[in-house]
Amino acid sequence: MHRTALIAVLAVLSSAALEGAEKRYYAHAVAEDDHGVIAPWYKGRNGQLDERLRFAVELYKRYPWVDADGAVLAAPHIIYNTHWKIADDGTIAIPPTHPWMCGDLGQRALSIIQGLTAHYRYSGDPLAFVYIPLTVDYVLDWCLTSTDHPWPSFPIATPTRGKGYGRADPDVPNQLDLCAYLGVEVLRAFKLTGTARYLDAAKHWGDVFARECNLGDPSLPPWNRYMSPQHKMWSDELTGGVALIAEFLDELIALGHAGRDDAIVRARDAARDYLRDNLLPRWTENEVWGRHYWDMEGALTCGVVPWICEYILHHPDAFPGWRTDARNILTLPFNRNGVDPASRGGVYSGAWAIPESSICCGTSLSYNQYTYAPAFLMYGRLAGDARALEIGRRMMLMATYDSRTTGVVLDGIDGEVVAAGEWLNLAHPWPLCQILKAMALLPELWAPPRENHIVDSTSVVTDVVYDKGRISYSTFDAPPGVTEVVRLSFAPAAVEAGGVALERRGDLERSGYTIAPAGGGDVIARIRHDGARDVVIRGDDPQTAVEDEDLVYHGAWKAISHAAARGRSLHAAEEAGARAELVFAGHQVRIIGSTGPAGGQADVLLDGVRQLTRIDCWTPAPRHQQVLYSRSGLEDGEHTIAVVARGTGNPLAAGASISIDAVQYCAATGRAPSGSGGGPRVAQRMIFGYTGREDHVDSRGKAWRPGMEFVIRLGRGADSVQRALYMDRRSITIAGTADPELYRYGIHGRDFRVHLTVGPGLYRLRLLFADTNTPGLFKVSLNEEEIVEAIRVRDAAGGIFRALDLVFPDVRPAHGMLSLRFSGLEGTEACLQALEVEPCEGEGHRGRPAVDRPGGEVDGRCRAGGTPSGRQGLVQAR
């Protein structure tokens, strides 16, 4: 059964049923800031992103396992299968399943490995060392082709046939782009764990990719979409997913594996060339960015576009047009994916929310917000684009409305379960990945205040200990430029790398560290440590650490000396019911301990309430001074935390031992900001239907970008670009303007909306029209208020192919947006060629539209810019 069929049978709560109910997005009641823009529903000190992260991690820790009788390897069910059910109280069940629901192996592996590697760096929680080896070992032992296959010993990323929980059948539509990012994640697992066979497998896959690369005809994709085209389900043309293959080959090259005679380098270059020279010039075509998901053909799906953008942004030298190319394709899904009226894709409290594609998945909008937000944030950071940063910020805030504290995910915009009720990867592993990406890009905004977290690294953090006043960590490698970003609750007194003191600097042109204040005593430290893998940060940390001997114990606990433990001692217990507890005053707490092959499980009680998670002290190899449990965002005041041994271990554990080293807590106060009141106070200019990769520069030297931030409801699967945009010049001659190119294209339709993301304040809005043989009568609304009652462009302009501008000198945003609606009257279509928005100086009032014609000046109440020369009169446009 395909994903679309599964979604179709899910119950959808209608909007009508919600009339009179509290307004909500996904799982929570709506909160807005003073400007009507999306704000956090969660008010705890640690912030909404950290809290949503907790829901995902705690679900990982309590996820049911399958034992060796039910699978080839005892492991959590998620290693094999995305199918799940969760009750309102958080109880998880694994429904009877079939191989189709195991088919997202490549996608799940990406989420598990990438997300938990980042989470280990961030938290010191060794959960990564449980899930990641199990995931990769399953792939390498049971999900490869045979040695005599045309693609020998190659990953089967979509095991939709064969025995579920067993050996994968290679006779499936195995997509090569999914195989490639499985390769990226196996390399990440190698960097985290040091397991040599992970590297060996990935190197072999790279050699096979290089061998099978088409280097003869650059007009064709370098590879087919499928490993075995005879098993294809749909088109076999590889499109934007070629960027994922390029990324995998880049990772191998960086590790020193270029292939025989640099074959991998040549294959990587072919992939980059095809993306740059064949796909990006066709960036508006539906086919170019589709064909990525394994379970539906889909015109434009959510996953691949952000990854392509991120790849381009990471390699600006290979993509000289990165600044406009990445921006252009990031905005395509706003209109492409929102064509189905049933999806309700659009803007909510200033945040863009769109479905996976034009054909799936109903009102499930949070998944695509998670997917796109980090790409917008990355672009905004690198390009200095306040608009992109604000789009990403709002998207991520709204996406993290999706989960209840129990782990139940309501991904439908009105609070219904749509896709996340069946597909676990959509519900928690993928959001964990994207939250940590977003936090790395905006640590000053989203990393929890008064806590210590490594939020980003250009390498992989392989070991980290978060001790009071001393954070020590190691990275996989330390090439030139290696850097970590750390949010700290104290200013470092010293930073060492490889045992040598680093200097505090004003920049990171060479090894050293920088400090930027983050408010409330916190700082953002950036640490560069070329050539040294081990780093230590020291300073006056406000948290308190309680040694293991100072806890209160009940039952059979033993004091154990261990050189690697904090204070060289810890307490351990194996019997069920053995209890350790501490009373503390603060709003955050962490239990520190050791893990290893004989580690067992325990429950956590906080203020007498059993938490919906568990401690598991099992890891394949011993690890010390690790975070076994953490909780932030508590109410200020006194709390009691207790650990109660279960007397059991997971199916792989050789024992049931719980080892506690210390408890850390903190009462230092601080608040997580949300970015309220942000947004671009800059001019925005766009031409609808213009498809140039570079912006058009007008006679004033002003740049106009392609206009893609619109929504038009054309029906499920419709192509909004082809059907709603005039992409070829409708006329060379446009009278009455010095800039005819602004009027030669356009958007048209019975009803469409344009949404502009802006910051607070007054703006001057200019709408540009020309009747290029679309003689419709239509009205225009701004933020639900009618601003043009009725207009026929040819009549107002004095004929066809003549420029007409309507200028509104003082307008205010609502919910952080200038949202325009164009509605045809008398059964005709509305149209718009271009628009311009400029911030105003000072306050004014919303005026009637001004019609710009040659020979006058614009209304002086808005001084942020001007219009092309033209006489003006305030008239009613009809």
On the question of pLDDT at 877 being above 80, the answer is no
**Dihedral (C-alpha) 197, 202, 204, 210: value to the nearest 10 degrees?**
-170
Give ∠ CA 81-85-88 in degrees, rounded to 5: 150
Q: Output the average pLDDT for the chain.
A: 92
pLDDT tens-digit map of 758-768: 999 999 999 99
CA 405 to CA 417: how far, in whole Å?
Answer: 15
pLDDT tens-digit map of 488-526: 999 999 999 999 999 999 999 999 999 999 999 999 999
Token digits for 156? 């089967």
CA 204 to CA 218: how far, in whole Å?
Answer: 25
Which residues, 6 or more positions from 817, have their beta carbon under 8 angstroms from its beta carbon? 347, 350, 755, 756, 757, 758, 783
CA 145 to CA 169: how far, in whole Å?
Answer: 8
The residue with greater pLDDT, 861 or 259, is 259
pLDDT tens-digit map of 390-430: 999 999 999 999 999 999 999 999 999 999 999 999 999 99
On the question of pLDDT at 227 being above 90, the answer is yes
Q: What is the pLDDT of residue 774?
A: 79
CA 186 to CA 140: how far, in whole Å?
Answer: 10
Sign of CA dihedral 216, 220, 226, 229: negative
The pLDDT-based confidence of 529 (bands split at 50, 70, 90) is very high
Q: What is the pLDDT of residue 21?
A: 59
Q: What is the pLDDT of residue 162?
A: 79
Q: What is the pLDDT of residue 232?
A: 84
On the question of pLDDT at 355 being above 50, the answer is yes
For the ranges 158-167, 271-280, 552-561, which has the lowest average pLDDT?
A: 158-167
On the question of pLDDT at 864 being above 70, the answer is no
Task: Look at the block and give the residue holding tokens 């700290």.
Answer: 488
For the chain, what's the residue count? 878
pLDDT tens-digit map of 248-270: 999 999 999 999 999 999 999 99
Q: At 785, give phi and psi (nearest 5°).
A: -110, 125
The pLDDT-based confidence of 552 (bands split at 50, 70, 90) is very high
Q: What is the pLDDT of residue 233?
A: 82
Beta strands, E only, 83-191: 85-86, 92-93
Beta strands, E only, 734-863: 746-749, 751-757, 763-769, 777-782, 785-792, 804-811, 817-825, 830-832, 834-839, 850-853
Sign of CA dihedral 20, 22, 26, 31: positive
What pTM was computed for the model? 0.94
On the question of pLDDT at 848 being above 70, the answer is no
Give ∠ CA 712-708-721 in degrees, rounded to 5: 60
CA 117 to chain centre: 16
CA 443 to CA 47: how far, in whole Å?
Answer: 11
Q: What is the pLDDT of residue 868?
A: 31
pLDDT tens-digit map of 44-92: 999 999 999 999 999 999 999 999 999 999 999 999 999 999 999 999 9
Q: What is the pLDDT of residue 789?
A: 97
Token digits for 166? 């067993």
Contact between 239 and 287 under an 8 Å Cβ cutoff? The reply is yes
Token digits for 99? 């191989």
Sign of CA dihedral 322, 719, 703, 389: negative
Q: What is the pLDDT of residue 292?
A: 80
Contact between 305 and 373 under an 8 Å Cβ cutoff? The reply is no
Rounded to a whole number, what is the largest CA-CA distance in the chain? 93
Which residues, 6 or more positions from 606, have their beta carbon under 8 angstroms from its beta carbon? 631, 634, 639, 640, 641, 642
Contact between 423 and 2 under an 8 Å Cβ cutoff? The reply is no
In a 10 Å sphere around its CB, with 0-12 CB exposed, 13-18 middle and 19+ buried, how is residue 472 labelled? Answer: middle
For the ranges 33-42, 619-628, 865-874, which has the lowest average pLDDT?
A: 865-874
On the question of pLDDT at 345 being above 70, the answer is yes
On the question of pLDDT at 3 being above 70, the answer is no
- 3-state SS, residue 394: helix
Token digits for 684? 């925005």
Which residues, 6 or more positions from 589, have their beta carbon under 8 angstroms from its beta carbon? 630, 631, 634, 639, 641, 663, 664, 665
On the question of pLDDT at 876 being above 70, the answer is no
Q: At 357, give phi and psi (nearest 5°).
A: -160, -175
pLDDT tens-digit map of 108-151: 999 999 999 999 999 999 999 999 999 999 999 999 999 999 99
Q: Is the peptide bond before 143 cis (omega within 30 degrees of 0)?
A: no
Task: Look at the block and give the residue holding tokens 């603060």.
Answer: 586
For the ranges 26-30, 566-570, 773-777, which has the lowest average pLDDT?
A: 773-777
Q: What is the number of H-type helices and E-type strands within the chain?
A: 17, 45
- CB atoms closer than 10 angstroms to residue 166: 17
Q: What is the pLDDT of residue 438?
A: 98
Contact between 242 and 289 under an 8 Å Cβ cutoff? The reply is no
Q: What is the pLDDT of residue 163?
A: 80
On the question of pLDDT at 689 being above 70, the answer is yes
Average pLDDT value for residue range 598-607: 98
**Dihedral (C-alpha) 437, 438, 444, 449: value to the nearest 10 degrees?**
-80
Helix-helix angle 304-314:366-383, to 10 degrees: 20
Average pLDDT value for residue range 549-565: 95
Token digits for 228? 């075995």
